[in-house]
Amino acid sequence: MARERNHYRRGRRSKNRGFSAWSLGKKLGIILGGTLALVAVTGAVIVASKLSKIDRREPTNAKELNVSEEARVRGTGYLNVALFGVDSRKNEMGKGTRSDSIMIASLNRETLEIKISSVFRDTLLEQDDGSINKANAAYSYGGPEEAVSVLNKNLDMDIEHYVTVNFDALIDVVDSVGGVEIDVTDEEVQYVNGYSTEIKKVTGKDSPDITGPGLQILDGVHATAYTRIRYTAGDDFKRAERQRTVLTKIVENLQKASPAQLNKIIDRVFPQVATNFTMAEILDYAKDAFEYRLMETVGFPFDKTTDELMDVGSVVIPVTLESNVEQLHKFFYGDSEAYTVSSTVSTISNNIVAKAGNRKADVNEATQQIMNQPDDDDVDYSSGYSSGSSGNNSSGGGTSSGGNSGNNTSGGSNNTGNDSSNSGGDSYTPDVPDVPSIGGEADDGEDTEY
């Protein structure tokens, strides 16, 4: 689909500035906030030569980012930042790269409290072209600007800033702060070691296997492996929780780091960071870094189910988008009265129902099995969305359906979906039960999944 872009010079707010802080990120979501914290904590000790290491992009006009006037007014007194973690072996953080982790950080400028919500990457949302697709499709198709636009459009948010961090940054940050203390369960041990084996193979970093469960210090390799686990109870949702746990630990350690440690982290991590914050903004927002408090972290959507749609694959279905957006606004803004969503969100909510059918929010064993499949979202959307029909697709019970035009209805209990195998170079399977085969770097631009 032909797409036209208007390139506006972004307007700046001069009042009520707060820390954009918590605006960096990590590959899986955790370093997202962690690096953002890094900018905050280091603001008083770094100089322009250090900040120049960051890949700073041109500021983006609020109109182009789908920020409505209503959302702008509602966001008064808050700074909302999109955090993206990408899996790019070539350190490419723009269009054509999948966002493996998506978070929204909201800073209350008066109380200096920060709340963070993950957005599950497989969540069905309406894209800029009107199609219904996974949340992380937007980044691949149009880069961080389009990803922010989709978040604003679907969630009634006022997000004008973003930070993207590449996958290797997490390992570097964790190692530089001396590791993170995590209580690893017996079930998680085998997966931490299994994923670590492949991470070591790809990065060339060495790290001995952990020997058992319990509270322990994980290095960068093991912390990254920990955040990748999705094959235990809770699946993708538990993985997002692990990411937020590691983020919290990183933040705690950054606030205790010495100037020498911070300098080392900057040199390692900043070249793997892209943002549309200006240098002046970063320094301005960072001045009160030690006053900020990370409060709560949640995952969006709150009420959901999972299924597999023929033209999209394994998805997280908000039940409904409208009611979930109401809850998200209560979480961020603490309203005493229920929030009434915009007509845009209400329409999108109905479109998602038309696409996926009427659903009940219930993640039971049957639906969890779908999320336990190897990731099938390693799709290159850079030349256009491969799915997102203009017609209505409905499904009932355990049935999945989809299509590109017209009304498609399916019945029974069979699910039809995309091939969920990963593509890439020579395949390697860690010696751990249920850990999927992992490919090398693909030649077709598709980033492989650990």
Instruction: Write the pLDDT tens digit of every residue in 361-378.
Output: 865 443 343 344 444 444
Q: How confident is the model at residue 428 (pLDDT cuts 50, 70, 90)?
A: very low
Q: What is the crossing angle of helices 168-176 and 235-256, to 10°?
A: 40
Q: Is 258 left (phi over 0), alpha (psi -120 to 50) or beta?
A: beta
pLDDT greater than 50 at residue 338 = yes
Q: What is the pLDDT of residues 386-427, one digit of tens each?
A: 444 433 444 433 333 333 333 433 333 333 333 333 333 333
pLDDT greater than 70 at residue 259 = yes
Q: β-pairing, 124-126 with 132-134?
A: antiparallel
User: Which residue, chain included where needed, has tokens 């069905």?
Assistant: 124
Whether the Cβ atoms of residue 82 and residue 148 lie closer than 8 Å to each other: yes
Q: How confident is the model at residue 235 (pLDDT cuts 50, 70, 90)?
A: low
Q: How confident is the model at residue 54 (pLDDT cuts 50, 70, 90)?
A: confident
In whole angstroms, how far apart are CA 360 and each of 131, 205, 318, 398, 412?
A: 23, 45, 9, 11, 17
pLDDT greater than 60 at residue 75 = yes
Q: What is the mean pLDDT of residues 312-328?
A: 95
For residue 265, the number of C-alpha atoms closer than 13 Å in the C-beta half-sphere is 34
Whether the Cβ atoms of residue 91 and residue 274 lie closer than 8 Å to each other: no
Q: What is the mean pLDDT of residues 243-248?
A: 82
Q: What is the mean pLDDT of residues 92-96?
A: 62
Of 45 and 337, the structure prediction assigns the larger pLDDT to 337
Q: Tokens at residue 104, please?
A: 């929204």
**What integer pLDDT is reported at residue 247 of this predicted model?**
81
Domains of the chain: 30-169+255-303 (3.40.630.190), 171-235 (no CATH)
- b (16+ CB within 10 A) / e for 70-89: ebeebbeebbbbbbbbbbbe
pLDDT greater than 70 at residue 137 = yes
Of 69 and 11, the structure prediction assigns the larger pLDDT to 69
Q: How confident is the model at residue 14 (pLDDT cuts 50, 70, 90)?
A: very low
**What integer pLDDT is reported at residue 425 of this predicted model?**
34
**What integer pLDDT is reported at residue 269 of this predicted model?**
83
Has this prediction a pTM greater than 0.85?
no
Q: How confident is the model at residue 433 (pLDDT cuts 50, 70, 90)?
A: very low
**What integer pLDDT is reported at residue 441 of this predicted model?**
31
pLDDT greater than 90 at residue 329 = yes
**What integer pLDDT is reported at residue 105 of this predicted model?**
93
- b (16+ CB within 10 A) / e for 322-346: bbbbbbbbebbeeeeeebebbebbe
Q: What whole-number distance in Å separates Cα of residue 314 and Cα of residue 335?
A: 33
Q: Which of 32-41, 105-114, 150-159 has the lowest mean pLDDT?
A: 32-41
**What integer pLDDT is reported at residue 321 of this predicted model?**
97
**What integer pLDDT is reported at residue 272 of this predicted model?**
82
Q: What is the pLDDT of residues 140-160, one digit of tens each?
A: 999 999 999 999 999 999 999
Q: How confident is the model at residue 357 (pLDDT cuts 50, 70, 90)?
A: very high
pLDDT greater than 50 at residue 282 = yes
**What integer pLDDT is reported at residue 116 of this predicted model?**
92
Whether the Cβ atoms of residue 22 and residue 105 lie closer than 8 Å to each other: yes
Of 443 and 306, the structure prediction assigns the larger pLDDT to 306
Is the torsion defined by CA of 113, 118, 124, 130 positive or negative?
Answer: positive
Cβ atoms < 10 Å from Cβ of 405: 9
**What integer pLDDT is reported at residue 86 of this predicted model?**
80
Of 311 and 348, the structure prediction assigns the larger pLDDT to 348
Of 268 and 81, the structure prediction assigns the larger pLDDT to 81
**What integer pLDDT is reported at residue 94 of this predicted model?**
61
